[in-house]
Chain A
Amino acid sequence: MTAGRESRMNPSIAVAQSLALDDVDAFIASGAIWEMPENRSVRYTFGQTPEDFSHSNHFSACLVPPDASREWLGALTRLNCDVFVECSREIDLADIAPLIKQQGGNKNTLSICLSTRSAYYLPVARKFVTALRHRELIGEKIAPTVEMAVQEAFANSLVHGNLELDTSGHLSMDSFTELGEETKRRLASGKHGGRAILLTARKRKNGHIVISINDQGNGFTPPADSCPTNVAGRKTTFGRGLPLIRSLCHAVNFSRDGRSIELEFDQEGTEFPSSSTPTNARLTSQPVHETDVDIRNPQNAIILIADDTLLSREIIASYLRAEGFTNLAFAKDGEDAIAQVRKHNPDLIILDIIMPKLDGYGVCKALRANPDFAETPIIAQTALEENEGRTRIFDDGATDLILKPLNKAELIARTRIHLENRLLVKQLQAYQERTRSELTLARDMQENLNPAPENYRGTGLDYGLRISATFQMSSELGGDMWGLVPIDEHRLGVYIVDFAGHGLGAALNTFRLHSLIWSDQLRDREPGDYLENLNRHLKGLLPVGQYATMLYGVIDRVRGKFTYASAACTSPILGNSLTGQARYLDGSGVPLGVIRDARYETREVSFTAASFLLLYSDALIETTLDDGQFLSEDKLLTMLRETIIENRKEIDLAAQIADQFMDRAPAKLSDDFTIVSLQSTPIPCAI
């Protein structure tokens, strides 16, 4: 028995609270996810929403309710679990169960199994790909390609597989309408709508990601050679899915008699097919990479000599060999140069400018466009003495220039200098790698400054509030923090802090401020007074130039008011939980730690039984999203309104906004991201 299997012997399962315990027991007993060894029992942890499960616990599986709404899809990204299964008596996992078992328990996998009915209206492909990005199973670069392919393949398996609908050929509006009605009927039926669909991803040792989609339909394997990538064409209304998938993947395979489709992607990513071929397309076509050779000694460095004349190559090689540089590679034209760079990943390139097929300018441009080779030193050799050629080769990305005919001493001197620079950069990277583990410890400590879900949920309930929060630390250490301060039976204080900058300095400052907040006995003061007092203390502690933004406010359930003061915090949002209408409150004020006698105005708004409050750090509105823009003030309000209207039931607002943000933001953020929502619950609070 392997180690991976042993860890599954005492399984802990995250279970949606809305599920009937009988159903859960029946599901576990069915052995669908794993065979239960004797004398072992499953430990259930219940949660109303995915937020209720602590991130420090690993769950062997998560059982999602049959009416799985968007919030449970968000769990794919945030829950420490790799297997998600809809728990319903209607679903017969049958031949899909072994596939789930096969995947389960492995760190580099992710699986979700839903009924067709649940999956049909949910953005499953999008959430799945967001989760893969955040779990670092795929890189940012290929994510859009993977999402499109998964979307198409998933739709195919749902519509043609499980629902057995035929959408081939050119449809008229009438047949489209009929198709829509038939879809509804089949979704409602147990036979079609209750079938399961399983989506899994696993990362191979070679870095490739394999995504498989498995349905319970009749199976369909298209002939391998039929019109593989032609997406265009007007003869068909809905028949573009498969050609599109083929054009997006490294490989496509069918199994289980066509009820499983397997998509394979290499991490370099297949370029989205485009009518205009980008100049660096040849760079992304073949994923060949030798592992980096350690160049502690510059003489171990790999040097690529690209020159179209054999004699020139030999002369340069002999100069280099004489000085002990023996790790040489050669290219005879521009295209060959790019192929050799891909193959050897050299530490230095000596590049001729005038070459057949692709000249030196083109080689430079193509290499610089690829992040893997953007930093590789390139020495261009040229007979051109005129300024224009020199300027141009530098513009195109050359690091240095050497004139022909070559002077041996000069060539060696320049080679050494660029290799030494490269060496220093690599050593610096290695050093950063070492300190990273220590930073992880500091990160954990910082995360613990924020309240845990079980705490803030419980505290919220005491005040008739549904509280939700999501925190994601930046790739470095950051300076965000939030917390709750119970004042008395009907007043709850809340704060959110963002220290300027990030790194160790900002993190240490959050510790300083955290202890100040919790040692201060004067919490009963007005928020403005409170911030003034805090600012005086903090000014004494902080070095000049370091400061924080903060909001401190008190929700008073008896008076129905939210009273707050802000030190340059992002504008808090106050809205109505029923209509979704919301507005920005005034967040202006001097940041903490700037001037000793800063004054803070106490502001008051009404906070009723239908109110919600949203607090957030600036990462929410200052992160470049997939459309190349920040989330604007208007768009955030629209997102809130639509989220509330679409759900029509109680939701964790902050978690839902965070999910939508994460769909569109890079997985690694450059600043801490914090979002907190406090929503009045319909039940009047017990006072």
Chain B
Amino acid sequence: MNYKTECANGTTTVELGGRFTFGDHSSFRKLIEEIRTHGSSTYVLDVAAVEFIDSAGLGMLLLARDEGEKTNTTVIIRGAQGQVKRMLEVARFDTLFKLEN
């Protein structure tokens, strides 16, 4: 998994790419540490370029949500495609996150 972050007008946008799976522990942790410092009111996780996500990847998205809740930050998942979209549907992430196209 690779990512790029951008912070503007109180919104942190994270563009994730590649495969997001159980081995991505440390890059995900770095990502959380990085966006913590932004103090944004909204996190947008743009997953359009994520090719594949497994259940551990879903778990890490939940951690991002917990992280947001601590600081009253809204977490939005944007642009899920193909397999990622189906995984989010199956795990009913629409009930946990704001999902955007």
Of A144, A152, A627, the contact of B55 (CB 8 Å cutoff): A152
B32 with A240: CB separation less than 8 A: no
Q: Is A584 an interface residue (CB 8 A)?
A: no
A232 located at the interface, meaning its Cβ lies under 8 Å from any Cβ of chain B in the complex:
yes
Residues B63 and A173 in contact, CB atoms below 8 Å apart:
yes
Chain A nearest CB from B2 CB (Å) reads: 8
CA distance A121 to B18 in the complex (A): 14
Q: In the complex, are the beta carbons of A273 and B90 less than 8 A apart?
A: yes
A626 contacts across to B, CB distance below 8 A: 82
* Known interface pairs A176-B29, A275-B89; A123-B19 also in contact (CB < 8 Å): yes
Contact residues in B for A236 (Cβ distance below 8 Å):
59
One digit per residue, 1 when the CB lies within 8 angstroms of any chain B CB and 0 when it does not, for chain A 633-666 equals 0000000001000000000000000000000100
**A450 close to B (CB within 8 Å):** no
B7 at the interface (CB under 8 A from A): no
On chain A, the residues within 8 Å of B87 by CB distance are 148
Are B63 and A171 in contact, CB atoms less than 8 angstroms apart? yes
A183 touches B19 (CB 8 A): no
Near B by CB (< 8 A), chain A positions 117-163 give 120-121, 123, 126, 144, 147-148, 151-152, 155, 158-159
Given A171-B63, A180-B26: A241 in contact with B96 (beta carbons within 8 A): no
Within 8 A of A (CB), among B50-100: 51-52, 54-56, 58-60, 62-63, 66-67, 81-83, 86-87, 89-92, 95-96
Contact A237:B63 (CB < 8 A) given known A151-B54, A180-B25: yes
**Across the A-B interface, the 8 shortest Cβ-Cβ residue pairs:** A232-B92, A240-B55, A238-B59, A237-B59, A180-B25, A155-B22, A241-B55, A151-B54
* A274 in the interface (beta carbon within 8 A): yes
A231 within 8 A of B: yes
Q: Is B11 on the interface with A (CB-CB < 8 A)?
A: no
Instruction: Tell me the residues in window 82-120 of chain A with beta carbons closer than 8 Å to chain B beta carbons.
Output: 120
In the docked arrangement, what's the CA distance between A627 and B82, Å?
A: 7
Are A627 and B86 in contact, CB atoms less than 8 angstroms apart?
Answer: no
- Complex formed: what's the CA distance from A458 to B8 in Å? 54
20 contacts between A and B (CB under 8 A): A121-B23, A123-B21, A144-B83, A151-B54, A152-B55, A158-B22, A167-B59, A171-B59, A176-B60, A180-B25, A180-B29, A231-B91, A232-B90, A233-B92, A241-B56, A272-B86, A273-B90, A626-B82, A627-B51, A627-B82
| Closest B residue by C-beta to A119 | B23
A177: interface (CB < 8 Å): yes
- Taking CB atoms, residues of chain A closer than 8 Å to B26 are 180, 184
Give how many A residues have a beta carbon under 8 Å from the other chain's beta carbons: 42
Given A148-B54, A151-B54, A237-B59, does the pair A627, B90 have CB atoms closer than 8 Å?
no
Given contacts A151-B21, A177-B29, contact A234 B96 (CB under 8 A): yes
- Chain A residues 169-202 with CB under 8 Å of chain B are 171-173, 176-177, 179-180, 183-184
Please tell me if A16 contacts chain B, counting CB pairs below 8 Å: no
Given A238, A247, A274, A627, which contacts B81 in the complex, CB threshold below 8 Å? A627
Measured between beta carbons, the chain B residues less than 8 angstroms from A234 are 62, 95-96
Given A144-B83, A274-B90, A275-B90, A240 and B23 contact (CB-CB distance below 8 Å): no
**Residues in chain B near residue A664, CB distance under 8 A:** 51
Cβ contact within 8 Å between A120 and B63? no
Interface presence of A244 (CB below 8 A): yes
- Which of chain A's residues have a CB closer than 8 A to the CB of B29? 176-177, 180
Residues of B within 8 A of A273 (CB): 90
Given A171-B63, A173-B63, A183-B25 in contact, is the A231-B19 Cβ separation under 8 Å?
Answer: no
| Measured CA separation A276–B6 after assembly (Å) | 35
Other A-B pairs beyond A180-B25, A232-B91, A237-B59, 17, CB < 8 Å = A120-B23, A121-B23, A126-B52, A148-B83, A173-B32, A176-B25, A176-B60, A176-B63, A177-B29, A179-B25, A231-B91, A234-B96, A239-B55, A241-B56, A272-B86, A627-B82, A642-B2
Q: Distance in Å from the Cβ of A68 to the closest Cβ of chain B?
A: 14
